[in-house]
Structure 1
């Protein structure tokens, strides 16, 4: 009898181990193997299709041509940084010589005016989209909370939100450009007009998803939670801090993730149309350039734009997991 029990226990342990191993294998497959297979199939189809497409600038670039351009673009960035370093070194030597001759000489330091490299334009776009998104969040989240708490305010502002939500950045950009040119007049501006134009355009277009999702999240809070706040007679700010924000965080972050994606797409379009510094301008300049390498360079920029958009979404997802009580809402 004891042998039979021991055998059953061993079988039970073996079954549990097999289930655990199977679970681990499925997780590894879903997390690593399937994405790798999907990417490999995509690259193979891209390579085969590219060979059969011929344009006025030559064959459509495949993965190999794009990878070569990544190396080329990085080499250009390195060479440009070396030129900048040499320029500042020569300037320091020249100023030192002038100070030796004339101790009262006022040193003048000129900025290096070389062309922006691909890496520089990536950084410019990232700074612009982050500032525009943060400005939109500062306006949209408090406004969304207020609309969610007040039925009357929601009824008053909701038509305005619904009208402006679908407006394209290409429609906003001329208006914003003229507005900035008329209002932002300074002999020594803190930031360039092109940066301010892109920032405001991004903010205008990424504002609405955050407002809508925040207001929906706040208005759908469990009535029992709000009743607890009323019973305790919590002040308005305390009510928002302790009850409203924690309960509506999943919806707020959903809106923020949507808005960040919108902001990134809007920025690239705005930079292309207005020729403001950034990745959008890089794509347009290469299109206008029309060299044999232009298509591969544009495709390299497209890959980078997509990858950065993916990273921005993952960053927002990680933040949501950190602050949200509902971990299931931050699982995708």
Structure 2
């Protein structure tokens, strides 16, 4: 006697109907978390689309580099530069005197100057941006000054620093400070000015103190704008320090590039360019991660 399956007890996929709602709820829950249930092929395609474009971009850059090295024998090939980089990074922290130090010490010296100048700019620029955005009188007073000084080239400030501080190191820090302060002031002030007026009206009705307005209303609303200004400022600071160190000398990645040029060591110059780009990228990505951790997005129920 053959068994007869009741068509009501099974769904179209052969799954008992009593389990279909549970399976559907699980799929909806995973979908709400951004997890997509698909075949291995679609997952592979997603990974391929994420990895392939950057790989092709780097491969194209290396190909152009190789072509240039073939056409110009004075220009080192990628293979020669890679071999020199391995030798260079085998001992990045050697020290044979003030003018002969490993690339690690030069990067450290530049980052230290950037940290000091950038920190001073944040300590001054962020509070000043809050005040400019909060009070129209201060905005009217400082806006013309900011508009006048912001377009000035970073290296134009270096002689002023040398004149005032009488030393190369504080002059370089001064150049970082004066050039990275503007993005923080402007973005913070714009963030304060874009706080909804209803929030300020409620604060006025509740008779909140200025400190309460700052901590409870302004700071949470302005934080994304402020972090954007910080991101822009760190990129500016890293650009400025390389240029300033080329002129002031001493220990630093910028001075190292200039010193290698005087020695006609082109592979080291190319390695320094890559290192400068990588360090700048890491600094910006760290601040992007910080900004994302303080960014709140509304989600549907």
Alignment TM-score > 0.5, same fold: yes
Q: Is the counterpart of residue 69 in structure 1 residue 84 in structure 2? A: yes
Q: 2:133 aligns with which of 142, 148, 153?
A: 148
Q: 2:187 aligns with which of 213, 219, 223?
A: 213
Task: Determine the structure 2 residue equivalent to 1:139.
Answer: 124
Q: Is the counterpart of residue 306 in structure 1 residue 277 in structure 2? A: yes
Task: Determine the structure 2 residue equivalent to 1:35.
Answer: 54
Task: Determine the structure 1 residue equivalent to 2:3.
Answer: none
Is the 8 Å Cα contact of residues 158 and 171 (structure 2) preserved in structure 1? yes
2: CA distance between counterparts of 1:327 and 1:26?
Answer: 30
| Bigger shift: residues 256-265 or 314-323 | 314-323
1: CA distance between counterparts of 2:286 and 2:79?
Answer: 29
Q: 1:295 aligns with which of 266, 275, 278?
A: 266
Cα gap change, 1:311 to 1:296, in 2 (>3 Å): same
How far residue 77 of structure 1 moved from its aligned partner, in angstroms, is 3.7
Q: Is the counterpart of residue 2 in structure 1 residue 7 in structure 2? A: yes
Is the 8 Å Cα contact of residues 214 and 251 (structure 1) preserved in structure 2? yes
1:132-281 equivalent positions in 2, closer than 5 A: 132-181=117-166, 193-281=167-255
TM-score by length of 1: 0.76
State how many pairs are aligned.
279
**When you count helix as a share of all residues, which structure comes out higher?**
1
1:50-129 equivalent positions in 2, closer than 5 A: 50-54=69-73, 58=74, 60-75=75-90, 77=92, 80=94, 115-129=100-114
Q: Is the counterpart of residue 317 in structure 1 residue 300 in structure 2? A: no
Q: Write out per-residue CA displacement over residues 16-60 of structure 1, whole angstroms, 9 at most, x where no aligned residue.
A: 976475764454234433322322222222222332234xxx2x1
Q: Write out per-residue CA displacement over residues 181-211 of structure 1, whole angstroms, 9 at most, x where no aligned residue.
A: 1xxxxxxxxxxx3321211110101111111
Is the 8 Å Cα contact of residues 144 and 212 (structure 1) preserved in structure 2? yes
Q: What SS class does the counterpart of residue 7 from structure 1 fall into? A: coil
2: CA distance between counterparts of 1:44 and 1:5?
Answer: 59
Q: Is the counterpart of residue 282 in structure 1 residue 253 in structure 2? A: no
Where do 5+ consecutive residues of structure 1 fail to align? 84-111, 182-192
1: CA distance between counterparts of 2:238 and 2:65?
Answer: 25
How far residue 301 of structure 1 moved from its aligned partner, in angstroms, is 0.0
2: CA distance between counterparts of 1:159 and 1:19?
Answer: 57
Is the 8 Å Cα contact of residues 198 and 276 (structure 1) preserved in structure 2? no
1: CA distance between counterparts of 2:274 and 2:138?
Answer: 43
TM-score by length of 2: 0.83
How far residue 162 of structure 1 moved from its aligned partner, in angstroms, is 0.9
Q: What SS class does the counterpart of residue 6 from structure 1 fall into? A: coil
Is the 8 Å Cα contact of residues 198 and 271 (structure 1) preserved in structure 2? yes
| Bigger shift: residues 167-176 or 194-203 | 194-203
